[in-house]
């Protein structure tokens, strides 16, 4: 019987040996993926014994997220407080026991809990644990301008909408506001109160970051992209002349201008953008075809998740949507290019995307990665990560960018965007009034860039959007853009 016993021993050892193998698998190979799962309550609770890094802004210096210590039984736990309340709630997000995490609290969790894999930090952490000291996380410094952020939130008021402002030369995000906002301090224990937040839209969705994940009809702001595609195609120049009968004919049907009572007659491309003439862009769209315009849009960052530091599922890609899904046509004939060219036809965009379009036009065609984090600093004050400007691509040629920028400047000077004029600055902008099909419920836009003078590249780009408006973008959104831009430009003048 000894032969079978020896073989049985091998079987028994093999079975139990498999336990070591699988323990190794779960504790090493699979551990990072499990740690990142949203329902991993063990990891989440375990991380409350870490003195989490704070999140701050520097202009002016404010703590956006800090810790309060609480002793529960044998251990010290660190709970989050958000001293600035709803001011930067969507960017910062929250870290709670009961409701997981959002925003930078989620995407930068590894840094904030100091569990980013790096030999020297791992050694420090192990030593701290041996000494019985709590693990201290890394601090995150944001590039947000909190004063401008406050102006934007106040200007939006009870209206649903968003403001994004960034420096197009570096991609640094200065303002990212979504309205209505929420107080992240309420999430842990008074979450119910958040569902009672009301605003001029239903549902109010205060937790949604409309600035980066709100998909909205771009309306005439999309004409900036169509104009860029037109110039890049070399088939058009700013002086190219069109005949405007007050409408354009698509598939035998009339598509009207915003105001059909005053057809412009013979008009060139530049004046068409300044006065936002639908028929002109409609005809350009029909001529160029949908795919050509969409390819230009792609160069501006459409159809991809923009690489902001917030979690990927709190970002949305801009583009054509069909049945809730991003859709790219296989053939030109699949899409009504005429209507798409002036921002209708199921084209949906995020405010962040439109701020980047305005920025690229203002900054010579260069599209930079948007960054809301400036740097990450270790507890000893060492810079672990310094965000440097990163070029995504040249969205349009320099000459195209300059030509479209000029058109946008005229639009502010004497066209639809006069409400955004700021003396002493060269402002270029484009209004938009996206029709949602419900009268008095338009999505109104203003996108703009600001430069010290006409020759310099822009140092500020902005997108303002409002939902459920009866007015136009020029009347509703442009004044907000001006206030926010003034707040930012004023604070950089007197540092």
Among 60, 68, 73, 437, the residue binding other proteins under the rule CB under 8 A is 73
For residue 364, give the 3-state DSSP assignment: coil
Annotate 110-131 with three-state secondary structure: HHHCCCCCCHHHHHHHHHHHHC
* Beta-carbon contacts of residue 36 (< 8 Å; ≥ 6 apart): none
Nearest Cα to Cα of residue 66 among 137, 133, 117, 116:
137
Number of neighbouring beta carbons within 10 Å of residue 372 = 27
Number of amino acids touching other proteins (CB under 8 A)? 47
Site map 84..113 versus other proteins, x via CB under 8 A:
-------------x----------------
Q: In angstroms, give the least distance from the CB of 236 to other proteins.
A: 47
Q: In angstroms, give the least distance from the CB of 185 to other proteins.
A: 16
Among 15, 117, 119, 331, the residue binding other proteins under the rule CB under 8 A is 15
Q: In angstroms, give the least distance from the CB of 66 to other proteins.
A: 18
What burial letters (b/e) apply to 262-288, b meaning 16+ CB within 10 Å? eebeebbbbbbbbbbbbbbbbbbbbeb
Among 39, 239, 380, 453, the residue binding other proteins under the rule CB under 8 A is 39
Q: In angstroms, give the least distance from the CB of 100 to other proteins.
A: 12
Ranges of H-type helices in 233-315: 269-274, 278-288, 290-299
Among 120, 127, 129, 386, the residue binding other proteins under the rule CB under 8 A is 129
Q: If binding is defined by CB under 8 A, does position 439 make contact with other proteins?
A: no
Piece in contact with other proteins (CB under 8 A), picked from 1-9, 54-62, 211-219, 262-270: 1-9
Residue 42 has, within 13 A of its CA and on its CB side, a CA count of 3
Q: If binding is defined by CB under 8 A, does position 118 make contact with other proteins?
A: no
Q: If binding is defined by CB under 8 A, does position 127 make contact with other proteins?
A: no
Q: In angstroms, give the least distance from the CB of 98 to other proteins.
A: 8
Nearest Cα to Cα of residue 165 among 302, 310, 393, 358:
358
Judging by DSSP bridges, how do beta strands 139-145 and 55-59 pair with one another? parallel
Q: In angstroms, give the least distance from the CB of 124 to other proteins.
A: 15
Q: If binding is defined by CB under 8 A, does position 23 make contact with other proteins?
A: yes
Among 61, 71, 72, 131, the residue binding other proteins under the rule CB under 8 A is 72
Q: If binding is defined by CB under 8 A, does position 6 make contact with other proteins?
A: yes
Question: What is the enclosing helix (H) or strand (E) of 12?
Answer: helix 2-24
Q: If binding is defined by CB under 8 A, does position 266 make contact with other proteins?
A: no
As to burial, measured by CB atoms within 10 angstroms (0-12 exposed, 13-18 middle, 19+ buried), residue 305 is middle
Piece in contact with other proteins (CB under 8 A), picked from 2-10, 137-145, 474-482, 483-491: 2-10
Piece in contact with other proteins (CB under 8 A), picked from 68-76, 142-150, 178-186, 268-276: 68-76
Contact assessment for residue 231 and residue 237, using Cβ atoms and an 8 Å cutoff = yes
Q: If binding is defined by CB under 8 A, does position 34 make contact with other proteins?
A: yes
Q: If binding is defined by CB under 8 A, does position 76 make contact with other proteins?
A: no
Q: In angstroms, give the least distance from the CB of 259 to other proteins.
A: 48
Nearer to other proteins, 37 or 254 (CB): 37
Distance from C-alpha of 207 to C-alpha of 94, rounded to nearest angstrom: 11
Among 63, 66, 71, 74, the residue binding other proteins under the rule CB under 8 A is 74
Nearer to other proteins, 24 or 198 (CB): 24
Q: In angstroms, give the least distance from the CB of 110 to other proteins.
A: 14
Distance from C-alpha of 310 to C-alpha of 409, rounded to nearest angstrom: 32
Distance from C-alpha of 195 to C-alpha of 218, rounded to nearest angstrom: 28
Q: If binding is defined by CB under 8 A, does position 391 make contact with other proteins?
A: no
Contact assessment for residue 392 and residue 369, using Cβ atoms and an 8 Å cutoff = yes
Q: In angstroms, give the least distance from the CB of 94 to other proteins.
A: 15
Q: If binding is defined by CB under 8 A, does position 43 make contact with other proteins?
A: yes
The separation between the first and the last C-alpha atoms of the chain, rounded to the nearest angstrom, is 89
Residue appearing with tokens 């005809």: 283
* Beta-carbon contacts of residue 389 (< 8 Å; ≥ 6 apart): 169, 170, 171, 172, 368, 369, 371
DSSP E strands: which ranges in 194-237? none
Distance from C-alpha of 176 to C-alpha of 168, rounded to nearest angstrom: 14
For the chain, how big is the Rg over CA atoms in Å?
A: 26
Piece in contact with other proteins (CB under 8 A), picked from 23-31, 297-305, 388-396, 475-483: 23-31
Applying CB under 8 A, the residues found at the interface with other proteins are 1-9, 11-13, 15-20, 22-28, 30-31, 34-35, 37, 39-43, 45-46, 48-49, 72-74, 77, 79, 97, 129, 132
């Amino acid at each position: 019987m000894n032969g079978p016993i020896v073989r049985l021993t091998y079987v028994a050892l093999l079975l139990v040996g498999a336990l070591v193998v699988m323990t190794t698998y779960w504790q090493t190979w699979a551990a990072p993926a499990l740690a990142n799962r949203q329902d991993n309550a063990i990891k989440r609770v375990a991380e409350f014994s870490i003195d989490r890094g704070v999140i701050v802004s520097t202009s002016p210096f404010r703590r956006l997220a800090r810790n309060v210590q609480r002793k529960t039984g044998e251990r010290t736990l660190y709970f989050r407080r958000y001293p600035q309340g709803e001011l930067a709630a969507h960017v910062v997000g929250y870290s709670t026991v009961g409701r997981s995490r959002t925003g930078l609290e989620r995407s930068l969790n590894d840094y904030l809990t100091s569990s980013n894999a790096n030999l020297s930090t791992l050694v420090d952490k192990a030593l701290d644990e041996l000494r019985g000291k709590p693990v201290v996380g890394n601090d995150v410094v944001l590039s947000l301008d909190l004063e401008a952020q406050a102006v934007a939130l106040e200007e939006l008021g009870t209206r649903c909408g968003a403001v994004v402002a960034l420096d197009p030369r570096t991609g640094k995000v200065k303002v990212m506001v979504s309205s209505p906002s929420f107080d992240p301090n309420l999430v842990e224990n008074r979450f119910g109160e958040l569902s009672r937040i009301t605003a001029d839209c239903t549902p109010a969705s205060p937790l949604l970051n409309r600035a980066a994940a709100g998909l909205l009809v771009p309306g005439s702001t999309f004409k900036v992209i169509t104009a860029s595609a037109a110039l890049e195609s070399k088939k058009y120049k700013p002086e190219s002349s069109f005949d405007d009968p007050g409408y354009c004919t698509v598939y035998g049907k009339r598509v009207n201008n915003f105001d059909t009572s005053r057809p412009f007659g013979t008009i060139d491309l530049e004046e068409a953008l300044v006065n936002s003439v639908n028929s002109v862009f409609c005809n350009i769209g029909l001529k160029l075809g949908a795919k050509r315009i969409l390819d230009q849009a792609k160069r501006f960052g459409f159809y991809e998740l923009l690489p902001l530091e917030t979690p990927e599922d709190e970002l949305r890609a801009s583009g054509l949507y069909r049945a809730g899904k991003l859709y790219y046509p296989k053939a030109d004939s699949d899409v009504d290019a005429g209507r798409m060219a002036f921002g209708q036809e199921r084209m949906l965009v995020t405010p962040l995307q439109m701020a980047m379009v305005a920025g690229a036009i203002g900054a010579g065609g260069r599209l930079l990665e948007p960054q809301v984090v400036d740097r990450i600093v270790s507890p000893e004050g060492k810079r672990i990560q310094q965000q440097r400007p990163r070029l995504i691509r040249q969205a349009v040629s320099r000459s195209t960018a300059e030509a479209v920028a000029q058109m946008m400047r005229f639009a502010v000077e004497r066209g639809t965007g006069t409400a955004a004029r700021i003396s002493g600055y060269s402002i270029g902008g484009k209004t938009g009034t996206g029709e949602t099909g419900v009268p008095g419920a338009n999505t109104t836009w203003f996108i703009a860039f600001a430069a010290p003078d006409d020759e310099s590249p822009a140092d500020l780009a902005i997108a303002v959007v409002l939902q459920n408006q009866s007015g136009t973008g020029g009347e509703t959104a442009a004044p907000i853009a001006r206030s926010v831009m003034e707040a930012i430009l004023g604070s950089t003048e007197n540092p």
